[in-house]
Amino acid sequence: MTSLPLKAVLLDVDGTLIDSNDAHAQSWKETFDHFDYPIPYERIRNRIGKGGDKLLPELIGVELESARGKELSQFRNKVFQNYYLPRLRAFPETLDLLRKMREGNLRLATATSGNREDLTALLQQIGALELFDFLISSEDAENSKPDPDILKAAVNKLGLHPSELLMIGDTPYDIEAATRAGIRTIAFKCGGRSAEELQGAARIYQGPSDLLRHYDDSPLAV
């Protein structure tokens, strides 16, 4: 089946647009330490890109919607927003890339496993909030990545066929979720993953500036 013309781009945020993956991992690490869960940092870091609904059960056997899970999540949110968020910056030329896509009449929507509060704050932090048509986050789906729920919610919100969209992300979870939703993926290595870990993406770039330099030869060129 021939793909329809590209009309919209779904974007992960953490590790894709903003250099925040380590901050999220450290926020969880401090949370687990505070509640006496001795979880090594690398085990946490490897799961960044999944939502709390996956991360908590996998690491400590606690469900996000349980009383304990909500307590942990609320503590983590405070740590992240009060200490780490003010220090975060976008990757080089992120805003230029977003504007380039909009100039090409592509609609933009987030597709993140993060919560709406973090998402809005992060986009405001880098001055990108007004560049998005829709904000799709963990609150819009039952299950976070690598389940395809968030991507399917974005498809429904945009009212487009999956072949009219393209996902940009930085983890294997982005690629798996998009593939399961029938959406092609561009992957960035700037979030800390290797090319081997990002196999399955249509193209792999270092980050926003690399894609911007090769824009005319990329899947975004329409």
Joined together, the tokens standing for residue 107 give 């609609």
3-state secondary structure of 210: helix
Tally Cβ neighbours within 10 Å of residue 213: 14
Phi-psi region of 30 (alpha: psi -120 to 50; beta: other; left: phi over 0): alpha
Joined together, the tokens standing for residue 172 give 């294997």
| 98-128: pLDDT as tens digits | 999 999 999 999 999 989 999 999 999 999 9
d(CA 185, CA 109): 14
d(CA 178, CA 174): 6
123 with 129: CB under 8 angstroms? yes
Query: How much of the chain is in helix, strand and coil states, percent to nearest 5?
Result: 50, 15, 35
**Structural domains of the chain, with CATH:** 8-19+89-217 (3.40.50.1000), 21-86 (1.10.150)
Q: Quick one: pLDDT at residue 3?
A: 63
| 33-49: pLDDT as tens digits | 999 999 999 999 999 99
Mean pLDDT, the chain, rounded, equals 96
Joined together, the tokens standing for residue 55 give 């991360």
Tally Cβ neighbours within 10 Å of residue 198: 23
**Residue 4: which pLDDT band, with cuts at 50, 70 and 90?**
confident
d(CA 171, CA 188): 8
Closest among 202, 208, 215, 163 to 11, alpha carbons compared? 208
| 47-100: pLDDT as tens digits | 999 999 999 999 999 999 999 999 999 999 999 999 999 999 999 999 999 999
* pLDDT > 80? residue 155: yes
